Structure 1
């Protein structure tokens, strides 16, 4: 025992004689200095943020080599290299290289930007330096809760979200969904929060995860006299980790939104060099300086996006441009209202005013405005050029590629759409959910083998996602393998029992196998469960098809009329009419011998659709 106690001091003394701890601590101090320096460089210069990770992995993994050198060569005087060093140091270097390859293989370690040169729709060449994909931030913003006792401030619940969302359009590294987006609203409505207020944070996280957002932002506000006090929270979606909580005070709502976004960029560690080079005009400059105009606009947006009440929304938008005749965004919304209310001349006038103030829009929104302008002006070449320019100017912006892919799908250019989806995966391999999009495209094309392969990749990435089972079910349904389709749909329904789409798909399987009684039984259950206009539209459509196939044309017409009524509750007029045409709605009248009614219906479609439709 005494010998062991004597050995400890001798061992420690030996380490200090060899200057082992001194050298290790000096090395760790140098590492800290290097990492701080690299972090500063990454923050202030256009260098990949992965350079910090590279430095950390390299420096930390080489500690064993430093330890060996310190132990065998720390004493004063010359020492020969030992066998331990000759084997240990090369092994340490190899392990370091393996770690770098494992953690950073395929990562962009060079410049964080790329130079782009394109020709716009006017034939002018544009050169731009744009950020690469590694800087992208995917965010969902939810409505802010009104914690004051003043119901007159309720509009701010929507205004704070909408203003922050629109302002972030100026920054190309942000991809943002807000509560006004249909993809979020339908999920919230299905969860029983039709006005989107009072939502639990767990639901916000669930929705953010389902729409593949990395972060989600929300908050609340109250008043103290004339001062508005806004509290925000920012969470990481994947693990529910709180990133930051902030409080902002002020009397100017526009300035408060500027401050919220400024702090958001800090909390998400957006590099200083990117912030310095990116256009970031105040909210008051890109939207409006008039509180009254902004309030009217927000009330209109709420009626349009949440209630689908276009006539009421139109009145609010008209009041907004009356309060501020330079309110470009409100004019663009008015254009959308007028075109869907079949007021073509007013729509064109509003779009022309929006184009007059095009400079007030963020560039990404300018692309959307110009695309609509060239659509309404019947200039498809310039319209296509705008989309192409968007993709070329922002080659690592998946939003542009996704928009182009959708355009290709509309034109039934399936191979081109698949190519755009593959570009998205090349830009960001972590977005594995695009395997499902590619599988769907191959399914449309009739290439079942490739569809199966991509659905398998999607299922491996998301084994607990019911949509992977639904995708396989759709595949086998198209292939006519109804038992397999039913099996996959049933498995999906076990994961998501309230999903109306799955109910209708199981009914379609019964319909295809000739069991109309069971199909209608399932569809009646789906009709009872359907809560939103979207769900009702889907159920009525399938029921109508079922009755049509059975030859019960009057019943088919009855549900086609119900389907049309449901679509009017959430779709724009153009979408309602084109949907009825696709459904061969007027053909049912012809089948019943009501040819005059069928022709009158066709004439109604012709009068309803404005130019260029």
Structure 2
């Protein structure tokens, strides 16, 4: 018995020695495989799979080593006949469920695109699945100083811009003040998050970034960077972050790494203006600040501030684009296509950008806008569905939900909301979205019940809720007979170049503000459409206006947010009105007087058409030489206003407002085609100095009001 015990002990010692040697050999092999995969850009999942295989077969390996003499003679006991295949099956199942949907091929892919010269180019990038996601939160001041407070939300933006050059990492600017919120915002889809502190003292910048584990907030790495060159510190911190989130040098070397100073500006004053979104001031300080022109163009375009200004800004950004990475250059070109209304080119280029960054919120939003401009509801749905299936994050869920509403797939939308309701049942936003979904599906009983519950939990009297109650009450008695054929079309506002288009698809009404995402609309009655924000207490009521003959000429848009309301006036813009104004803008005056005379007669409520006619008639009366002399007299600077002549045309710009061309309707009065409700006036005071002021049109009273207060009545410098 003693000999048998000793033999078993020796056997197990031998088994353990072999297992130890096996583990060492396996670990060495894994290190080699890891290096080889990195070297040849192959999926790192193979290392994980092999690790599970090496660990998973240990039970069978231990049994074999212990009984190898017998097993080598092909003598297997029943337990071994069961354990060996069962062990293999378990390992196979673990690999299937753990890695069945993983990409086991190359970590990179090639994307082809047409550059701005029309040439086909190919770029190799890291696939989204293999990039390291890193939310970067705002940095906090170590010592309170109001003069440098703006840096807190600027450091993270610059780090994002700098890190985006490296396609091994997916940085994202995020905002949260405490660790719990940071973990909640980053833990689901990311392994890390970054935040930090900073101080500025006597021109010396001290920045301390911290890399955290996103699952528990624990500190992984922390280092302080100090020096007088703020931009150089950003470059150093970017490399530090990459080094501490697993981006090894060989991976970093695949991509270009421009300095942040080269991509933005070398002026802290210009950077501060940019950070505060005062883009006009930023380019005054640094006329080569590409991103300031670009961000300003994007903002102007989104709200249709002025076509001239949008094109000027995007053209400036495009001319200066060579100081940016290739992807940023294509982003500028993408927006140029949008601003110039080249929608097909824009869609192609956005598709290329999304191949590089599939989860980029800005690019996905832009593609949704393209779908809105082209009324491609099916394309919007397919894109949103693919995004959601690939990555079920909050942004993709919102986009998918919106596409379901647009497509009339209300049951799917309700099921989607119920899934999120299980996670946050008492969230006001989710309950509002749920109620809105029932309303869209015409499930009035469920909608009314949900809204009633919300009133109890969040009791606040709002115009929003009163409007909804009115809508539900009317639907209970009868369906509104909305006159779609009379109201469809494009309407233009009087205080900017913004347009609204009303259209119908699959028996549903839609409202689309130019350069923004379309919205589903509800017919409140025969001449009113209602648009609601699903998750917030805001919306718009569109009251269509008819003349004495019953012809639709405009719409008054009541914009409401809780108990605040604002009214905006829009007028129907037919194709013949659009064509006439296009001729006016391009200074093609043949037969234009007769054209506007006919339009004034046909559309008597479009009071601004009379102004266009006055300009055409005044220009004809004066002639080019007299007009240029008139322009030269008033050209100059009036405080923050500037008027100048360029190629025989008169232009006006005020700080932080768009550039517009202005047209004379008299010796001292001018109009623009960007803001119909504003006239620009000039007069000499008693000291023979020229003053600039404005007139504003009061729609309700149908009168022009002269602005003569200190901020509007300004003498020429």
TM over 0.5: yes
Distance 1:110 1:598 in 2: 63
Give the equivalent residue in structure 1 for 2:591. none
Q: Displacement, 1:253?
A: 1.3
After superposition, give the CA deviation of every residue in 1:383-424 in whole Å (9 maximum; x if it has no partner): 333223334566787864554244214433121112112332
Q: 1:317 aligns with which of 282, 285, 288?
A: 282
Q: What is the Cα deviation at residue 227 of structure 1? A: 4.0
Aligned partner of 2:384 in structure 1 is: 421
Query: CA RMSD for the aligned pairs?
Result: 4.6
Q: What SS does structure 2 have at the residue aligned with 1:154?
A: helix
TM-score, normalised with respect to structure 1: 0.71
Q: Is 1:13 paired with 2:13?
A: no
1:356 aligns with 2:319: yes
Cα deviation for residue 504 of structure 1 reads 7.2
Give the distance between the partners of 2:171 and 2:116, measured in 1 at CA: 27
Q: Is this contact kept in 2: 1:342–1:608, CA < 8 A?
A: no
| More divergent stretch after superposition (353-362 vs 481-490) | 481-490
- The reply to whether residue 27 of structure 1 matches residue 94 of structure 2 is no
**Stretches of structure 2 lacking an aligned partner (at least 5 in a row):** 476-531, 546-554, 574-602, 612-670, 678-717
Counterparts in 2 of 1:359 and 1:566: CA distance versus 1, 3 Å? farther
The total of aligned residue pairs comes to 521
Structure 1 contact 467–492 (Cα < 8 Å) conserved:
no
Cα deviation, residue 111, structure 1: 0.9
Tell me which residue corresponds to 1:201: 179
Comparing 363-372 with 340-349, greater Cα deviation is found at 340-349
User: Residue 277 of structure 1 aligns with which residue?
Assistant: 254
User: Do the aligned residues in 1 keep the contact of 2:168 with 2:252 (CA within 8 Å)?
Assistant: no
Is the aligned partner of 1:39 residue 2:30? no
Alignment of 1:345-424 (within 5 A): 345=308, 347-391=310-354, 400-401=363-364, 403-424=366-387
- Report the 3-state secondary structure (helix = DSSP H, G, I; strand = E; otherwise coil) of the residue aligned with 1:608: coil
Cα distance in 2 between the residues matched to 1:538 and 1:397: 24
User: In 2, Cα distance between the equivalents of 1:328 and 1:113?
Assistant: 30
Structure 1 unaligned spans of 5+: 189-198, 305-312, 517-533, 549-556, 569-575, 585-594
Work out the CA distance in 2 between the residues paired with 1:602 and 1:472.
Answer: 48
1:193 alignment partner in structure 2:
none
Q: Secondary structure at the match of 1:217?
A: strand
- Structure 1 residue 159: deviation in Å? 3.0
Say if 1:61 and 1:96, in contact at 8 Å, map to a contact too.
yes
Query: Residue 102 of structure 1 corresponds to which residue in structure 2?
Result: 97
Is the aligned partner of 1:447 residue 2:514? no
1:432 Cα deviation from its structure 2 partner: 7.7
Q: Report the Cα offset of residue 109 of structure 1.
A: 1.3
Residue number among 470, 473, 479 corresponding to 1:514 in the alignment: 473
Which of 119, 144, 164 is the aligned partner of 1:169? Answer: 164
* Conserved 8 A contact 2:208-2:223: yes
For residues 49-71 of structure 1, the C-alpha deviation after alignment (integer angstroms, 9 at most, x for no partner) is 21221121111111111101111
For residues 382 and 493 of structure 1, what CA distance do their matches in structure 2 show?
47
Note the C-alpha offset of 1:489: 5.1
Change (3 A) 1:562 1:476: closer
* Equivalent residue number for residue 290 of structure 2: 328
Alpha-carbon distance change, 175 to 412 in structure 1, aligned in 2, over 3 angstroms? farther
Map of 1:196 onto structure 2: none
Query: Which has more helix, going by share of residues?
Result: 1
How much has 1:283 moved relative to structure 2? 0.9
Q: Matched residues in 2 for 1:291 and 1:400: separation? A: 29
Q: Which residue in the other structure is 2:87 paired with?
A: 92
User: Computing the radius of gyration over CA atoms, which structure comes out larger, 1 or 2?
Assistant: 2
Query: In proportion to residue count, which structure has more strand?
Result: 2
Establish whether residue 135 from structure 1 lines up as the match of residue 130 from structure 2. yes
